[in-house]
Amino acid sequence: MPVITLHDLFMQELQDLHSAESQIIEALPKMIEMADDEKLQAALEDHLEATQQHLDRLNEIDAMFGFLGSEKICEGMRGIIQDGERTLTEITDAATRDAAIIAAGQKVEHYEIAGYGTAAAYAKQLNHDEAGDLLKKTLDEEKKTDSDLSSLAEGNLLATGLNEMAAEE
Ligand SMILES: [Fe+2]
Ligand SMILES: [Fe+2]
């Protein structure tokens, strides 16, 4: 689809997000399986459910505009997930692996925050209020997940695990 107008750009951003969310739904179960910390596992499981809702919301928006006619693969998300998985398979220590899962998760969230922030701004500019509200809802959830992951990384559980490991060395 040629991108000429802001509307075209909006459609392209929605396609990108739809592909990104689909890839995340595929990748998250593997991350959950690899996570050791229970709180981290629970946070990822919650976000898998939320991610399904994000995809549902994008499908709702597709019903308004039909942007999915020419779905394109989001190469940005593919790279983030591939890099994350490569690092994870190399790590043998559970606490270090949890730290890497959080890092990979936050890269995913930041990509989504950028995409949804952009798409919500386009929707506003184009007076697509209903779509804008749905995008904003997802944007807020992505931000919340990002800050929850930060709290987990900075909080006691991971710090304790990593400190214990450092003490053993
Ligand atoms: Fe999402
Ligand atoms: Fe997300």
CA of 155 to the centre of ligand 1 (A): 24
CA of 59 to the centre of ligand 2 (A): 16
- Residues whose CB is less than 8 angstroms from the CB of residue 120 and which lie 6 or more positions away in sequence, other chains included: 132, 135, 136, 139
CA of 98 to the centre of ligand 1 (A): 20
**Contact status, residue 43 vs residue 152, Cβ threshold 8 Å:** yes
pTM summary value:
0.91
Kind plus residue range of the DSSP H or E element containing 56 = helix 38-65
CA of 30 to the centre of ligand 1 (A): 17
What's the CA gap between 61 and 57, in Å, rounded?
A: 6
Per-residue pLDDT of the chain (169 residues; tens, 9 = 90+): 678 999 999 999 999 999 999 999 999 999 999 999 999 999 999 999 999 999 999 999 999 999 997 668 999 999 999 999 999 999 999 999 999 999 999 999 999 999 999 999 999 999 999 999 999 999 999 999 999 999 998 885 556 656 666 666 5
Query: How confident is the model at residue 154, as a pLDDT?
Result: 87
CA of 24 to the centre of ligand 1 (A): 8
Measured from the alpha carbon of residue 106, the closest ligand is 2
What's the CA gap between 93 and 105, in Å, rounded?
A: 18
**Contact status, residue 24 vs residue 52, Cβ threshold 8 Å:** no
Sign for the pseudo-dihedral over CA of 54, 118, 17, 154: negative
CA of 158 to the centre of ligand 2 (A): 21
Measured from the alpha carbon of residue 142, the closest ligand is 2
What's the CA gap between 96 and 115, in Å, rounded?
A: 29
Take residue 65 and report the two structure tokens written for it. 């505009």
Of 138, 131, 118, 108, the closest CA to residue 44 belongs to 108
Measured from the alpha carbon of residue 46, the closest ligand is 2
Task: Please give all residues whose CB falls under 5 A of ion ligand 1, grouped by chain where several chains appear.
Answer: 51, 54, 112
